[in-house]
Structure 1
């Protein structure tokens, strides 16, 4: 990858930050990225040193390459302007004014929703490939390509609220989900056949040691094909494969050379079940399974099918061997069952249900059984707590910190609560307690009584709105696999003593 700017990661690794407004031109891209990540609207930078080209060209290059880092933020920058003046021969001050397609409230809401979605469609035990497939399929099945939307069709906030948008929204959501799963991913800007002069956006994702192209937008064919919802033609491609109809600046991105997944590119309407894809065979349409580890296929049933959708341990299909009627294939028993005599028009799935639409416009809804990812099945939830036995004590909020203290003459059960939804239920009677909580990066929880740290035999319940820990949730799930539950847009964690879990970003 060729660029005269220092990368965002290298700049941070050497201790760079926006605390200093004086930089070199090589640091400009990284510093601009940091300001846009904060959604800063106005700021100034002083650039020291000899410039290799006119300043306006360097500034334009920095903005044009800003999508390489933190694309979820940099590409939501809708408009930019700058003014600069020379302070001395090799010293220039630049004043920036930026506007964005999202505000901080929308950012928090989106991160909370994305975190909740990822908690439903992925688990920490999944392989990287399984997670990439799950995210690809979720976006294709959930969203539709549409330029005419109430909000900006380019903004992820519109995309998530209206379930419609353009390629930019598809690729930004995919990139952000990969980022939150700690999977390296680039947002790619280029052109594609049939897209006109407006340009096109897709992604490059890293799997094991290789990089691959993924165009989620072009795999979404539900609006164009009557009997198909999703394909994998533009999933995990090489540079040569996608270059047939896509163009981009090869110097800005890592090369994609492995064709290991070429067998997937002819598949339609697959669903992920464990470490297998289940799909209609491209030639025979027989119900088929392919191992995602070995990429070896095996026949599951000798019936001609389309529209494979998995839920509750069952694959739902339209059986073309029997008049396109609804059938089920049970994963555990391999039992095939006819569920309806009516002709199926479509089978679709969202996070909550499978929706079967018949040719007579009758609709069948199959609710999804959501199983908690936590190992501890006995963990109680918010609704199961008997709040009547607790004495409420207010927690004071200070940005990313919360503080509470009380001192009683007799032992009580106490529930510490803040106005923004942070709660700590102490499940043992105590007389005195001081609690300090920080959620800046990870969880730093101090619980002391008489200036000494306390340890409870009955674990306390820490309840935090999911948006407050959205950036760190995947790491926290790995750290607390047996104690952490995501439920009802909250994170519930069992704690017996003080915690200090620092998450590196």
Structure 2
């Protein structure tokens, strides 16, 4: 007797909500402050592209090659059947066959249960499962189960993911980082290095597209976050739910024994703002998350703590020595600082600040109270001054230089 069962995993396709953002810009002629001895250089031609043609070629889909391993020739229980499914899933095998020996009275439910058990063992694998087709032949006490399973990734791409993840985690110091710092590290990395887009070589729903191409949609964001957070020792769940645009995916993370929601996709502004990170959906509880997200509550642990609610007011954050310097979205984007250890929250100046970075004793920012000019201020709030009288954005520091974008291109000066 031949039966056919087809399982479908719906690929989540999303359009992330766009954040409205606009401020008045004032254009004035370029002017140097000689008393500060600052020399602005054109840096456009010195920027090296990070796109690798070799990496792009590697991302083209290839058949998964799996090394032979010890698998029983037959399975006798639902748990053993789940073991077999998990083995093939975790090696990204597309076509495989399993021989089951035992009562086949309820064979259909037995297979469904085994697949569910296998998929739930690893949310990273679960999130990459796509369409599935199962055919089986059976007698009273045995069955041959033939499976065709497709994925949003493959073995070659997962090798890339593993190498990239190892490289990212090598820049962290988990032995000295708090749970909060680990989650912020992952959130910031993904937001700063990813553009929300379906235009990728690998599936935009995969972690590979996000980590290797810097592109992806919510599913890819959440799956990469899951892998990075687990690599840092943070217990993490992959959550599937709904938002007003349709299906959506994010994470639940355990910080100091409490569960919180983390939506890296909705922390990433669109259109993309390069190094800008939002924290509106960072370590949220269920009550706050339910304002615009829905999910099956019984499928996931409860998140009740309100400890990190203050993070929602933070934009353009720069963190150093346990202090975050940020643009306060609740206070007209004025420059604030908050001490993560004491909770002390202070206004640093009356200036509206964006694209905040720091070096040494100084905080640098685009001063939207003064034409979006490049400005700096000491970390104690003293000696604020304008350095460059032209609209600037996308500030970042690299190799002892402060880089920033202007209408005339990328500029820099030595710190």
Q: Give 2:268's match in structure 1, choosing from 211, 216, 220.
A: 220
Question: Are 1:78 and 2:124 counterparts?
Answer: no
Report if the CA contact (8 A) 2:327-2:334 is conserved.
yes
Which whole-Å CA distance do the structure 1 matches of 2:70 and 2:324 have between them?
A: 45
Q: Give 1:238's match in structure 2, choosing from 262, 285, 301.
A: 285
Report if the CA contact (8 A) 2:260-2:305 is conserved.
yes
Q: Does the C-alpha gap of structure 1 residues 271 and 64 become closer, same or farther in structure 2, counting only changes over 3 Å?
A: farther
Q: Give 2:296's match in structure 1, choosing from 217, 226, 249.
A: 249
The TM-score, its normalising length taken from structure 1, stands at 0.60
Equivalent position SS for 1:216: coil
Q: Give 1:177's match in structure 2, choosing from 223, 228, 234.
A: 228
Equivalent position SS for 1:120: coil
Q: Does the C-alpha gap of structure 1 residues 259 and 234 become closer, same or farther in structure 2, counting only changes over 3 Å?
A: same
CA positional deviation for 1:310: 4.2
Q: Give 2:219's match in structure 1, choosing from 141, 150, 168.
A: 168
Question: Are 1:323 and 2:371 counterparts?
Answer: yes
CA positional deviation for 1:366: 7.3
Question: Are 1:35 and 2:103 counterparts?
Answer: no
The CA RMSD over aligned residues, in Å, is: 3.4
Question: Are 1:203 and 2:248 counterparts?
Answer: no
Which whole-Å CA distance do the structure 2 matches of 1:227 and 1:155 have between them?
A: 21
Q: Which has the higher contact order (CA 8 A, sep 6+)?
A: 2
Report if the CA contact (8 A) 1:220-1:230 is conserved.
yes
Q: Which moved more, 1:171-180 or 1:280-289?
A: 280-289
Which whole-Å CA distance do the structure 1 matches of 2:70 and 2:401 have between them?
A: 46
Q: Give 2:404's match in structure 1, choosing from 316, 334, 356.
A: 356
Q: Which moved more, 1:276-285 or 1:317-326?
A: 276-285
Q: Does the C-alpha gap of structure 1 residues 218 and 298 become closer, same or farther in structure 2, counting only changes over 3 Å?
A: same
Q: Give 1:133's match in structure 2, choosing from 178, 184, 189.
A: 184
Q: Give 2:327's match in structure 1, choosing from 273, 280, 284.
A: 280
Report if the CA contact (8 A) 1:67-1:187 is conserved.
no
Which whole-Å CA distance do the structure 2 matches of 1:47 and 1:363 have between them?
A: 64
Q: Give 1:143's match in structure 2, choosing from 188, 194, 213.
A: 194
Q: Does the C-alpha gap of structure 1 residues 61 and 136 become closer, same or farther in structure 2, counting only changes over 3 Å?
A: farther
Question: Are 1:110 and 2:145 counterparts?
Answer: no
Question: Are 1:297 and 2:297 counterparts?
Answer: no
Report if the CA contact (8 A) 2:193-2:274 is conserved.
no
Q: Give 1:266's match in structure 2, choosing from 308, 313, 321.
A: 313
Deviations 1:88-135 (A, max 9, x none): 35x544232323343333322221222212222445311110111111
Report if the CA contact (8 A) 1:42-1:97 is conserved.
yes
Which whole-Å CA distance do the structure 1 matches of 2:378 and 2:411 have between them?
A: 19
Q: How many residues align?
A: 345
The TM-score, its normalising length taken from structure 2, stands at 0.72
Which whole-Å CA distance do the structure 1 matches of 2:228 and 2:307 have between them?
A: 23
Question: Are 1:24 and 2:77 counterparts?
Answer: yes
Q: Which moved more, 1:118-127 or 1:170-179?
A: 118-127
State the partner residue of 2:41: none
Equivalent position SS for 1:219: coil
Which whole-Å CA distance do the structure 1 matches of 2:148 and 2:398 have between them?
A: 40
Which whole-Å CA distance do the structure 2 matches of 1:144 and 1:316 have between them?
A: 25
Gaps (5+ residues) in structure 1? 1-16, 369-505
Which whole-Å CA distance do the structure 2 matches of 1:336 and 1:138 have between them?
A: 29
Q: Does the C-alpha gap of structure 1 residues 105 and 149 become closer, same or farther in structure 2, counting only changes over 3 Å?
A: closer
Which whole-Å CA distance do the structure 2 matches of 1:115 and 1:185 have between them?
A: 18
Q: Does the C-alpha gap of structure 1 residues 357 and 115 become closer, same or farther in structure 2, counting only changes over 3 Å?
A: same
Which whole-Å CA distance do the structure 2 matches of 1:37 and 1:55 have between them?
A: 23
Deviations 1:254-309 (A, max 9, x none): 11111211111222221222322221223153322223344331333443212223
Match runs of 1:327-476 below 5 Å: 327-331=375-379, 336-347=384-395, 355-358=403-406, 360-365=407-412
Which whole-Å CA distance do the structure 1 matches of 2:123 and 2:411 have between them?
A: 39
Report if the CA contact (8 A) 2:160-2:212 is conserved.
no
Gaps (5+ residues) in structure 2? 1-68
Which whole-Å CA distance do the structure 2 matches of 1:48 and 1:334 have between them?
A: 77
Report if the CA contact (8 A) 1:222-1:229 is conserved.
no
Report if the CA contact (8 A) 2:174-2:232 is conserved.
no
